[in-house]
């Protein structure tokens, strides 16, 4: 089997073929390392490629599988982690200059679990500095490029995680989401991103941005891969006191469910301000769901716009608390945009922080009421396609449209409520760039979100890969 | 309204953190509108919302720290 053929399998298919010994973990890992060598100097999705670690793990997986010790669907599967997750003895930079030489003494729980499941670590993925931004234009490690158009941003902060999935330089990746950092890059790059319920996945060993808003979750090619990854990483962690003891279900069950008879609500507060492309794509997705017998109406979460403000205030305060010492001692080592938002945190009052925290219950109550007897809620993943790198914070100076707020508007509110949300591609714009839809569920109902997403994914069919990627694969 | 003077003085007095006039103005321009909008959170009628800090988490964290010290 050629390298390019190996790179086309999702994790589910890889798991089956690895277990059946139709493909070898060593061969698969070499295919991914070759692909990284081929394209990553252009994409900058990786900060560190762990060739030796990957080859050693692949050989071990091969030996174990050969002797009948199969650990599950991730055994021998090459993955990569956002460079915000601690990896023992391996550079963990947070995308910063501040931590440019930092090698943790322990692993993040998420990596511990994936490693025990037999996953092969290809490396650590580039991001917006300290996860505090939405472009992944990193001043220290290079601007991550969108595989669909390298002149454009991949979104952020988990830009490397999404770019690597679409560029076929990792089979699955991990991202984190505080204001939209899993879903925005998934939307702009054209892959699946799941922000689980807050506390569903351990944050132990994950460099924090905002303690009470940070979520860790999968970025994958397919919905079923996201479900498989959740099966490995979800669940209580005694090292993370905030992690939930809520029962973990098998997320891969029910992914073949039909949509007929389901009820869904479109979030009114997020159903405007879309570009023509985004409007057409979202409406087409909704029409496709209706054609399958889904009853869809419009619902309101009146305080959702304010939940975005609350998200900003909470993040200002909590991020600055984490960064205070470095901001006092070496502010010049931050990129301009990250330093600027940390400066906002210096000015955030305790009263506004506590008020923002209290407001979360109000918005969640409204979201729960909006869900009512509906299965899930729907919203666009982004109002726009990926902007060009260097467009700055303003995409339309005359209209005073702020790029950051344009992207965050659709995602921030659900970090504030902590609900599970999955971003799934809805197709490509006329200019050939990905567009996306969000599927929003009740707390701890990731299974329902995944079921709806899987059914929609079947309905939608495959998304054309990036042109440059197709060309590279034929070489 | 947040002014550049307020920004410069607050950062200096609270953190001994110095910023140029240009940066102070940019911070005021960026943060000011968000802080103003955050005042609208009061309109959500939060009187009946309890303070969202969890004592069980504090207790669990204390137990975890005690184990680490052994």
- For residue range A93-122, list pLDDT tens digits in order: 999 999 999 999 999 999 999 999 999 999
The residue extents of the domains of chain A are 3-473
Residue A461 has pLDDT above 90, yes or no: yes
Catalytic residue selected from A181, A281, A303, A447: A181
CA distances A369 to A94, A328, A365, A445, B49, Å, are 38, 45, 6, 15, 17
Query: Could A361 and B7 be called an inter-chain contact, meaning their C-beta atoms sit closer than 8 Å?
Result: no
Residues of A in contact with B28 (CB under 8 A): none
> Cis ω on the peptide bond leading into residue A157 (within 30° of 0)?
yes
Could you report the predicted ipTM of this complex, rounded to two decimals?
Answer: 0.94
Catalytic site includes residue A275:
no
Q: Does B40 touch chain A (CB under 8 A)?
A: yes
Distances (CA, A) of A104 to A99, A101, A110, A206: 10, 10, 14, 11
Query: Which residue of the set A96, A136, A157, A161 is catalytic?
Result: A157
* Count: domains in chain B: 1
Annotation marks residue A82 as catalytic: yes
Q: Is A241 a catalytic residue?
A: no
From chain B, the residues in CB contact with A306 under 8 A are 37, 40-41, 44
Q: Which of B42, B19, B30, B61 minimizes the C-alpha distance to A362?
A: B42
Do residues A7 and A31 make contact, with C-beta atoms less than 8 angstroms apart?
A: yes
Euclidean distance between CA atoms A295 and A57, whole angstroms: 48
In A, which residues are within 8 Å of B53 by CB distance? 357
* pLDDT of A221 higher than 70: yes
Contacts of A328 in chain B (CB under 8 A): 15-17
Cα B6 from Cα B24, distance rounded (Å): 8
Q: What pLDDT digit, counting tens, does each position of A243-298 carry?
A: 999 999 999 999 999 999 999 999 999 999 999 999 999 999 999 999 999 999 99
Provide the domain limits for residue B29. Answer: 4-69
Q: What is the CATH T-level fold of the domain A3-473, as seen in this structure? A: Amidase signature (AS) enzymes (3.90.1300)
| Residue-wise pLDDT tens digits, A6-22 | 999 999 999 999 999 99
CB pairs under 8 A between A and B: 89
User: pTM, whole model, 2 decimals?
Assistant: 0.96
């Amino acid at each position: 089997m050629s390298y390019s053929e190996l790179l086309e399998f999702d994790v589910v298919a890889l798991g089956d073929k690895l277990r059946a010994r139709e493909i070898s973990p060593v061969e698969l890992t070499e295919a991914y390392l070759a692909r990284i060598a081929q394209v990553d100097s252009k994409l900058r999705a990786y900060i560190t490629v762990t060739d030796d670690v990957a080859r050693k793990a692949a050989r071990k997986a091969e030996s174990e599988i050969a002797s009948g010790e199969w650990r599950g669907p991730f055994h021998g599967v090459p993955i990569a982690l956002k460079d915000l997750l601690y990896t023992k003895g391996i550079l963990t930079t947070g995308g910063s200059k501040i931590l440019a030489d930092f090698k943790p003494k322990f692993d993040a729980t998420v990596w511990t679990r994936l490693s025990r499941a037999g996953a092969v670590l290809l490396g650590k993925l580039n991001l917006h500095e300290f996860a505090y931004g939405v472009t992944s234009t990193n001043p220290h490690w290079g601007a991550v490029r969108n595989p669909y158009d390298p002149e454009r941003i991949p979104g952020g902060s988990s830009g490397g995680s999404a770019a690597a999935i679409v560029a076929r330089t990792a089979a699955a990746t991990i991202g984190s989401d505080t204001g939209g950092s899993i879903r925005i890059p998934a939307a702009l790059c054209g892959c699946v991103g799941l922000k689980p319920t807050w506390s569903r996945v351990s944050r132990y060993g994950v460099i924090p941005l905002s303690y009470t808003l940070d979520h860790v979750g999968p970025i994958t090619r397919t919905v079923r891969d996201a479900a498989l990854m959740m099966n490995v990483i979800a669940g209580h962690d005694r090292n993370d006191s905030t992690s939930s003891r809520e029962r973990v279900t098998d997320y891969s069950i029910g992914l073949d469910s039909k949509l007929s008879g389901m009820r869904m609500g479109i979030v009114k507060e997020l159903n405007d301000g879309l570009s023509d492309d985004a409007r057409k794509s979202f409406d087409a997705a909704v029409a496709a769901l209706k054609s399958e017998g889904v009853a869809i109406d419009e619902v309101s979460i009146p305080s959702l716009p304010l939940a975005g403000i609350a998200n900003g205030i909470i993040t200002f305060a909590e991020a600055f608390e984490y960064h205070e010492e470095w901001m006092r001692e070496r502010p010049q080592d931050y990129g301009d945009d990250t330093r600027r938002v940390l400066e906002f945190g210096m000015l955030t009052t305790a009263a506004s922080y506590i008020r923002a925290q209290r407001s979360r219950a109000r918005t969640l109550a409204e979201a729960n009421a909006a869900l009512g007897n509906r299965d899930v809620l729907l919203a666009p993943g982004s109002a726009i396609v990926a902007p060009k790198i260097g467009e700055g914070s303003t995409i339309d100076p005359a209209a005073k449209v702020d790029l950051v707020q344009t992207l965050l508007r659709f995602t921030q509110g659900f970090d504030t409520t902590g609900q599970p949300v999955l971003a799934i591609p809805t197709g490509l714009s006329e200019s050939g760039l990905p567009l996306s839809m969000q599927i929003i569920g009740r707390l701890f109902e990731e299974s329902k979100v995944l079921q709806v997403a899987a059914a929609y994914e079947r309905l939608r069919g495959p998304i054309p890969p990036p042109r440059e990627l197709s060309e590279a694969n034929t070489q | 309204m947040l002014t550049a003077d307020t920004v410069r003085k607050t950062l200096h007095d609270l953190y001994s953190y110095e910023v140029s006039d240009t940066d102070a103005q940019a911070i005021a321009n960026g943060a000011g509108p968000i802080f103003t909008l955050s005042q609208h959170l009061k309109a959500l009628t939060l009187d009946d919302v309890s303070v969202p800090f969890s004592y069980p988490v504090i207790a669990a964290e204390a137990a975890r720290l005690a184990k680490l010290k052994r």
